[in-house]
Amino acid sequence: MASGGMLRARKSLRYKLTFASLIATVAALLTSGALFMFFLYSWGLDDMVSDLQIKADVVAANSRAALAFGDTSYAAETLQAFSLEPDISEAALILLDGTVLARYQPTGGSTDPVGAFTGLRPGLTMSADHVLLLEPVELDGEVLGNLFVHQDLDSLYSRLLSYLAVMMMAVLAALTVAWQLYRRLQARIEKPFLELVATVSEVSKDRNYALRVQSRTDDELGTLIDGFNEMLRQIESRDQRLRNHQEFLERQVERRTKELSDANEQLTGEIDVRRRAEAEMRKLSSAVVQAADAVMITDTEGRIEYVNPAFERMTGYPAVEAIGQTPRLLKSGKHKDEFFSQLWRSMEAGQIFHDVIVNRRKDGTEYYEEVTIAPVRDADGEVTHFISTGRDITDRMRTQEQLRHLAHHDAVTGLPNRVLLMDRIEQSLHRARRHDLAFAVLFIDLDGFKTINDSLGHHAGDQLLRGVAQRLSAAVRNEDTVARLGGDEFAVVLDSLRSSASVTAVADKLLDEISQPMLVEGKSLKVTGSIGIAVYPNDGEAVHELLRRADSAMYLAKRSGKNNFRTYSSGGDSEISGRLELEQFLRRAVDEETFLLYYQPQIRVDTGAVVGVEALLRIKHPTLGLLDPARFLPILEETGLIMPVGSWALREACRQVRRWCDQGLPPLRMAVNLSGLQFEQADLVSRVRRSIDEAGIEPSILHLEITERVIVDTLGSAVRVLEDLAALGVGIAVDDFGVGYSSLNYLKRLPIQKLKIDKSFIRDVINDADDRAITEAIIALSHSLRLTVVAEGVETEQQLAFLENLKCDEVQGHLFSPALAPMAFMAWYADNCPLQHGHAASQDAMRKEP
Amino acid sequence: MKAGFVLNIARFARWPLAGLEGREIPLCLLGEGSLDTVTELLEGHLVRGRTVAVHRIESVEQVTSCAIVFIGAAMDEQLPQICAAAESGSTLTMSDSDGFADRCVMINIVREGLRLTFEVNQRSALRARIQLSSELLKLGRLTDWHDG
């Protein structure tokens, strides 16, 4: 339809153009024709008139004579000259008086006798179909008469008609030629136009904007085509951009749709997960609600966020009261602050706390709760809450407590018994060592008690003892301990003393209390007491030692007259001065580095090979010779000298490894003892590394031995320090193992390779069933923990055979060799390990050389 | 009528001499004649561009000074002398007396019926070296001329 319209339009336009051109042509031709005809006419008329004038002039001239002399015939004769002119229809010569001298009428007789000339003015008179001329004939200025000529225009008109005919033919021919020319020329002009139109129609039909009009013309149509092409190009490019944009949008929509559906799916999945999680949560929360154990959830600040019904039952606090509070709500005061700070430390370290806590209910009663507190972490591993589950184990604890109380307390007075006293002294000893404090052990014996007991019966005796116990307990501070050792013997531990003067004051007070009369079974009884005092550290550094010395001081007091007290140091013992002297000697030795290291070999039990040595500290006294380590080591520990000495020993041992290597010995494992003080040094790890680096030895050569006691005392930091040391590559052994401090769980968490059984067990391993059992247990434990186990202090073949039987890994002791100076060790090694390399040394050879 | 004839004839003639040319063309009347009463009809008209001046002459000798001489019938006797003088002086001779043309007058006006006509003695005119137009010759009646 569009093309049909186009076609029509094209036709119409084409014909319009042609028509217009032809109209213009015709108009031009007609105008020029009309002009031409007009000029032809006017020219023809002019010609005719001038011709007529000329003829008339001639005739007039010729007719002068005729007129002058009135000669009619001659006049007629002259008029006959017009006979050659067919257009002259009438001519006449008229005299002045109006008479016609002669008349010429070629077409026959005139119908007008008067003549057309009457009243005619001289000159030309024009009319449509004729021209009249009245010309005066003059002779020498005198008018003789007039010549009248009538000329028809017929010939002019007929000539014009023939011209017109010719012209019309010419116009027709011109039109024909023009028509053909237009057709040809128009085709040329039209061609690009038609192409443009065709392209337009194609573009409008197909929306194909890649089309272009190919024709090139240098006219306005060319501009139009260029414009159209440019327009197409722009449309095309815009189209392309639109398409690109649309594709982009479609992709975007597709992507969004996918994202949405993904999100939807994910959401559905999440909803599912959440539904399950909710069910799980409901299950869990109802489990928590209905749990028999008390559950308490706090935030990281310790504020209670949730408690369950079991908690309410156990504590007596309803949830509304507990929430928002801290667990201090339940505090009984039975634990020291240290306990709680430890609790917080372990929780902050992310560890699970498990212990028994004494708490207080709302009604004020105390109860034992076995608590497990665990951190609750979010998805990022961040601790957000703590959950505490606990159960009331008061009944169980009470039973245990009773049992323990029975085990640790005196049945008569309720005071701690000897066992507990020893423990308390041990604790005081620890505290005193750590805090550099003094404490005193007072040994009290009642004077004359035996007499009362014998005379009044043991019932009264017991009553008296209970009374004394009460008074003693009342006389000392809470942190002090009053114990009954048995019979009429009591002991008091005065903890954390600041001066020895306070000890004597307390002793006086105690004597005073004891000597107060006491009402027993209606009788007023009076006893006195004798007190012996041993003060740590002056009078001893071990539990038994202090007790023994307090005991001996008590005997001194008794001997010196009862109701009296004596201190051990005041008893005149010379040990104190000897100790001071020794301390000074040691200080000098530290300054002068005159300490020595002796090396005791460690031997594999199964192969008999020397696998390492233990470096042991020695010092030579100028007069006393080698000093007993048991004597000088405690002093080094107490004075802190052990730190520089220990550092020196570490360096020296490493250097010795290097020296032996240089002297041809194979690299032997070097075990070096670390004291507790050293272990607490902040720069221990870097010191160890420096020693290794300085000597240029393999870190794995070095083994550090740390006593079980030290590890237990430093508990939290021990793990970290040991891990740092292990990271250096050095081996770690637990020394003096089995004394009874460690738990097996603890061992598992430490990066240790080796356990050394304390020599006290080995010494009696053959005769003492307990020691044997302990030794067996330690070896089994080591194997189960994949630890190497070393037995120290092996002195007999029986001991070795026993250990070998238990598959103890390594041994050391006088059976093989005492600790030796470096050179002596070289010699020993050469004798016992002639092949030097590996396993060659026979066990027999080694056993023969104790 | 005759006066107009005279003028018209004169107008068809051509004189040879330039010496006679002037503003005026002298027309002489010799002898009593029919023109005497109509001299005013002649006076002032143009012949060949010159104004006609009518003179009355009495003697034959005066003829030579005229361009035209009209000879009256009374001069019959003296006609040869007059003609001779006219021929020598290139004077156009005219008359209106019968037979004069046959004698020697160049133009002699005659009545022929109701109309006037004239006779032309071309021989005399040739002698006087006066050229008469062919029209005159055609309109006028030519006389046989001979020496006369």
A137 touches chain B (CB under 8 A): no
B114 has pLDDT over 80: no
- Is A142's CB within 8 Å of B45's CB? yes
Q: What span, in angstroms and rounded, lies between the C-alpha atoms of A490 and A449? A: 12
A603 has pLDDT over 90: yes
- Is A70's CB within 8 Å of B46's CB? no
A67's CB contacts (< 8 A; 6+ apart) are A75, A93, A95, A101, A137, A144, A145
A139 touches chain B (CB under 8 A): yes
Buried b (16+ CB within 10 A) or exposed e, A500-515: beebbebbeebbebbe
Band of residue A601 on the pLDDT scale cut at 50, 70, 90: very high
Chain A interface, mutation test: which of B11, B25, B134, most A Cβ atoms within 10 Å? B11
A422 touches chain B (CB under 8 A): no
* Strands ordered across the beta sheet of A383-392: A304-307, A294-299, A383-392, A366-377, A353-360
A843 has pLDDT over 50: no
A70 touches chain B (CB under 8 A): yes
Instruction: Return the percent helix, strand and coil in chain A, to nearest 5.
Output: 55, 20, 25
Domain presence at residue B125: yes
- Cβ atoms of A615 and A599 within 8 Å: the answer is yes
Q: Which domains does chain A have, with CATH numbers?
A: 2-177 (3.30.450.20), 291-398 (3.30.450.20), 409-573 (3.30.70.270), 598-615+643-847 (3.20.20.450)
Domain presence at residue B38: yes
pLDDT, average across residues A819-840: 74
A848 has pLDDT over 70: no
Q: What span, in angstroms and rounded, lies between the C-alpha atoms of A422 and A491? A: 10
Domain presence at residue B148: no
Encoded tokens for A649: 């020993």
- Is A69's CB within 8 Å of B133's CB? no
B6 has pLDDT over 70: yes
Phi, psi (degrees; rounded to nearest 5) at A787: -105, 145
Residue given tokens 């749709």 in the structure block: A257
pLDDT, average across residues A314-337: 88
Per-residue pLDDT, A123 = 81
Note the pLDDT tens digit of each residue in A187-202. 777 777 778 888 888 8
A835 has pLDDT over 60: no
- Is B136's CB within 8 Å of A71's CB? no
A836 has pLDDT over 70: no
Give the one of A62, A68, A140 whose C-beta lies nearest to B48's C-beta. Answer: A140
Average pLDDT, chain A: 82
Domain presence at residue B30: yes
- A424 closest CA partner among A496, A487, A358, A472: A496
A564 has pLDDT over 90: no
Q: How many CA atoms lie within 13 A of A175 on its CB side?
A: 17
Phi, psi (degrees; rounded to nearest 5) at A769: -60, -40
Residues 104 to 123 of B: which have CB under 8 A from any A CB? 115-118
**Closest residue in chain A to residue B118, using alpha carbons only:** A69
Q: Is this complex's ipTM strictly greater than 0.90?
A: no
Contacts of A63 in chain B (CB under 8 A): none
Domain presence at residue B121: yes
DSSP A350: T
Phi, psi (degrees; rounded to nearest 5) at A482: -115, 125
Which CATH number covers residue B53? 3.40.50
- B69 closest CA partner among B51, B80, B50, B82: B82
Determine how β-strand A489-497 pairs with β-strand B115-120.
unpaired
- Cβ atoms of A526 and A517 within 8 Å: the answer is yes
A68 touches chain B (CB under 8 A): yes
A113 has pLDDT over 80: no
Encoded tokens for A784: 């189960």
DSSP A655: H
Q: What span, in angstroms and rounded, lies between the C-alpha atoms of B71 and B84? A: 13
Q: How many domains does chain B have?
A: 1
Determine how β-strand A595-604 pairs with β-strand A610-621.
antiparallel
Contacts of B133 in chain A (CB under 8 A): 65
Domain presence at residue B42: yes
B47 touches chain A (CB under 8 A): yes
Per-residue pLDDT, A196 = 80
Average pLDDT, chain B: 83
DSSP B72: P
Encoded tokens for A678: 């050293």
A574 has pLDDT over 50: no
Domain presence at residue B45: yes
- Is A69's CB within 8 Å of B139's CB? yes
pLDDT, average across residues A368-386: 87
Residue A108 buriedness (CB in 10 A; 0-12 / 13-18 / 19+): exposed
- Following DSSP, what letter does each residue of A205-242 receive, concatenated? HH--TT-------SSHHHHHHHHHHHHHHHHHHHHHHH
Note the pLDDT tens digit of each residue in A208-250. 777 787 777 777 778 888 888 888 888 888 888 888 888 888 8
**Closest residue in chain A to residue B110, using alpha carbons only:** A69
**Closest residue in chain B to residue A68, using alpha carbons only:** B8
Percent of chain B with pLDDT over 70: 93
Note the pLDDT tens digit of each residue in A665-713. 888 899 999 988 888 888 889 999 999 999 889 999 999 998 887 877 7
Domain presence at residue B61: yes
- Is A140's CB within 8 Å of B5's CB? no
Alpha helices (H) in chain B, listed in sequence order: 2-11, 39-42, 79-88, 100-103, 122-127, 134-139
A-B Cβ pairs (cutoff 8 Å, strict)? 38
A495 has pLDDT over 90: no
Phi, psi (degrees; rounded to nearest 5) at A240: -65, -45
Phi, psi (degrees; rounded to nearest 5) at B61: -65, -30
Determine how β-strand A788-791 pairs with β-strand A754-757.
parallel
B51 touches chain A (CB under 8 A): no
Show the domain range for B125. Answer: 2-142
Note the pLDDT tens digit of each residue in A5-63. 444 455 566 777 777 877 887 788 788 888 888 888 888 888 888 888 888 888 888 88
Note the pLDDT tens digit of each residue in B119-135. 888 888 888 888 888 88
Compute CA distances A660 → A216, A585, A656, whole Å.
106, 30, 6
Q: Which H/E stretch holds residue A134?
A: strand A130-139
Per-residue pLDDT, A229 = 84
